[in-house]
Amino acid sequence: MTNTPDTEPSAEKPLDPVAEAILAYLQKSPPTKPVSPEQVAKEIAAGKAKPGAKPSPTLWRRYFQSVKDQARHLARSGRIEITRRGEVCDPNDLKGVWRMRLPRSD
């Protein structure tokens, strides 16, 4: 049995909505300024708020762990870089203050 274009398995799984939000946020941010996971979590929380309602100031905390998990996934796959003190760091060792950026083509 041969695979036709209609039956071939997709090469890439669709991204998680949080991963898509990270990439979208990084693409609209200046390339010289890394982004904190808190900024992305706040952006997601603002998007989830009901129209006209004032969002809770701590709602972003619900999304922080998902942002952290998806940032690790994206860094392992090479789609983003995770930095600490301006240097790329291991995505498996996220503690302290860290930021995200799109990979640089130096």
Is residue 6 in some structural domain? no
Concatenate the DSSP letters of all residues of 85-96 into one string.
TTEE--TT---S
**CATH number of the domain enclosing 38:** 1.10.10.10
Q: What is the pLDDT of residues 68-83, one digit of tens each?
A: 999 999 999 999 999 9
For residue 42, what are the domain limits?
17-49+57-101
Q: What per-residue confidence (pLDDT) applies to 1?
A: 45
Q: Could you tell me the two tokens for 51?
A: 């129209």
pLDDT of 100 strictly over 50:
yes
Contact 82, 75 (CB under 8 A): yes
Which uninterrupted H or E stretch holds 23? helix 17-28
Asked if residue 44 lies in contact with residue 62, where contact means CB atoms within 8 angstroms, the answer is no
Q: What is the model's pTM?
A: 0.81
Question: Any alpha helices (H) in 35-100, and if so which ranges?
Answer: 37-48, 61-76
Tally of domains in the chain: 1
